[in-house]
Amino acid sequence: MVGAYCYAELGTMIRQSGADYAYIMETFGPFAAFIRLWIECMIVRPCSQAIVALTFSVYVLKPIFPECQPPDEATRLLAACCILLLTFINCWSVRAATRVQDWFTYAKLLALFIIIAAGLYQLCTGHVEHFTFEGTTNDVTSIALSFYSGLFAYNGWNYLNFIIEELKDPVRNLPRAIAISCTLVTIVYTLTNVAFYTTLSPTEVLGSAAVAVTFAERLFGAFALCIPLFVAASTFGAVNGVLLTSSRLFYAGAAQGQMPAMLTMVSSRATPVPAVLAVALLSLLYLTVSDIQALINYVGFATWLSIGAAVLCLPVLRYTQPNLERPIKVNLFFPILYIICTILVVAFPAVASPAETGVGCLMILTAVPVYLLLLEPRTRLTGLGSLTGAATRLIQKLTLSVRPKTK
């Protein structure tokens, strides 16, 4: 909520699509902006998609393997099929992709409300025996690492800023949308977890690969199969959402000359086929890492580091550009609080899981040679124009795509 409040000022002050990317470009220049763009396009978006696709696979396969974990190969193969199917839908029709998003969002909310209703019934009948702190730890690094998993569920709270140019009356509607959505999601997710603990112990929650399935098996009997189907539907829609929204980020980067021009192109069916294929191929690459927790840690480190840098833009711009129009002006206490929390959330897990943090750092640092060799005028490789031009023409022929008309 604090971060979203800071983004309300940034979004109404710098009204350019791209969100974090646009703010960092304005504040710290093209190099820092490219690192943010690289993190989002090469790590966060495709890695998040791989995580949700793997979760989809687990929930689909769990009823088939009720007494054990689903086979790792089957889980990854089904996740790949999910990504490929949605890639086809997003390449085929924007309308079909938005309909998938709408209907599967309804399925997600319905599943959550069923779980919450069952949990409220359990509360009313006095099932509170699992609401204890027995067996928990007060280790600071463990608590900080747990934030990655907890906050991962709330990913997307800053996505409205990516389409600020398309938002009607952003000064009025952006803070209103942020407040309503963050509040609603927080209440729903908190009540869902409360519902789980009315029936399952903390040990059972931690030991279950599909908590909603275990919860449903305890309470719903013959109707338990409906919950994994609903959850699988919701995760299917979430994978679709990543593919649907990523094209705007690619377009924002390409408009600044920091992404290949081919990624801004659309097919004859008005779908951003090259951008969708790029995200899908990277997601399939991340599926080679089947450990969901490791993937969440990679994404968490990269996400919160870059979002912290975006919030840092707020006090920096107050100092460097005090005359910018600020329809919403946040008290500086909030960005400072958020930056301190970001430092803690990034630093402590780095101590708790140095290997995964090291991999995350290496992923981020790969942006440096790419920028120096391809974008920095003083060190850029010569002779790449003909190569990139040939690659662009090849992609255009393969996908029947052209650059969209601009105003």
What's the sign of the alpha-carbon dihedral 211, 216, 219, 222? negative
Give the per-residue pLDDT at 166. 66
CA-CA distance, 358 to 375, in Å (whole number)?
A: 26
Mean pLDDT along residues 252-279? 82
Give the per-residue pLDDT at 290. 60
Mean pLDDT along residues 210-228? 83
Tens of pLDDT, residues 291-319: 666 666 667 777 788 889 999 999 999 99
Question: Of 76, 80, 119, 104, whose CA–CA distance to 212 is shortest?
Answer: 119
Would you place residue 272 in the very low, low, confident or very high pLDDT band (cuts 50, 70, 90)? Answer: confident
Long-range contacts of 116-119 (CB under 8 A, 24+ apart): 116/188, 116/191, 116/192, 116/195, 118/195, 118/199, 118/215, 118/219, 118/220, 119/191, 119/192, 119/194, 119/195, 119/196, 119/198, 119/199
What percent of the chain has a predicted confidence (pLDDT) above 90? 17
Mean pLDDT along residues 90-99? 87
Tens of pLDDT, residues 133-174: 877 888 877 777 777 778 777 877 877 777 677 678 888 888
Mean pLDDT along residues 325-336? 91
Q: DSSP readout, 243-272?
A: HHHHHHHHHHHHHTT-S-GGGG-EETTS--
Would you place residue 195 in the very low, low, confident or very high pLDDT band (cuts 50, 70, 90)? Answer: very high
Give the per-residue pLDDT at 263. 82
Give the per-residue pLDDT at 331. 92
Mean pLDDT along residues 352-378? 82
Would you place residue 38 in the very low, low, confident or very high pLDDT band (cuts 50, 70, 90)? Answer: confident
CA-CA distance, 49 to 45, in Å (whole number)?
A: 6
- Residue with more model confidence, 92 or 155: 92
Of 146-155, 301-310, 325-334, 364-373, the one with minimum mean pLDDT is: 146-155
CA-CA distance, 236 to 229, in Å (whole number)?
A: 10
Q: CB-based contacts of 125: which residues, under 8 Å, 6+ apart?
A: none
Give the per-residue pLDDT at 87. 92
Would you place residue 406 in the very low, low, confident or very high pLDDT band (cuts 50, 70, 90)? Answer: low
* Mean pLDDT over each residue of the chain, to the nearest integer: 84
Mean pLDDT along residues 258-277? 84
Mean pLDDT along residues 70-83? 92
Burial group, residue 9, by CB count within 10 angstroms (0-12, 13-18, 19+): buried
Which residue carries 């069923």 as its tokens? 114
- Residue with more model confidence, 335 or 374: 335
Angle, alpha carbons 301-304-306 (nearest 5°): 100
Would you place residue 121 in the very low, low, confident or very high pLDDT band (cuts 50, 70, 90)? Answer: very high
Q: Taking a C-beta distance cutoff of 8 angstroms, is the pair 16, 165 a contact?
A: yes
CA-CA distance, 143 to 136, in Å (whole number)?
A: 10
Give the per-residue pLDDT at 217. 85
Tally Cβ neighbours within 10 Å of residue 30: 16
Would you place residue 360 in the very low, low, confident or very high pLDDT band (cuts 50, 70, 90)? Answer: confident
pLDDT tops 60 at residue 407: no
Of 22-31, 142-151, 228-237, 329-338, the one with minimum mean pLDDT is: 142-151
Mean pLDDT along residues 246-266? 78
Report the DSSP beta bridge partners of residue 267.
Answer: 401
Q: Taking a C-beta distance cutoff of 8 angstroms, is the pair 379, 247 a contact?
A: no
Give the per-residue pLDDT at 381. 82
Q: DSSP readout, 268-279?
A: TTS--HHHHHHH
Mean pLDDT along residues 372-390? 82
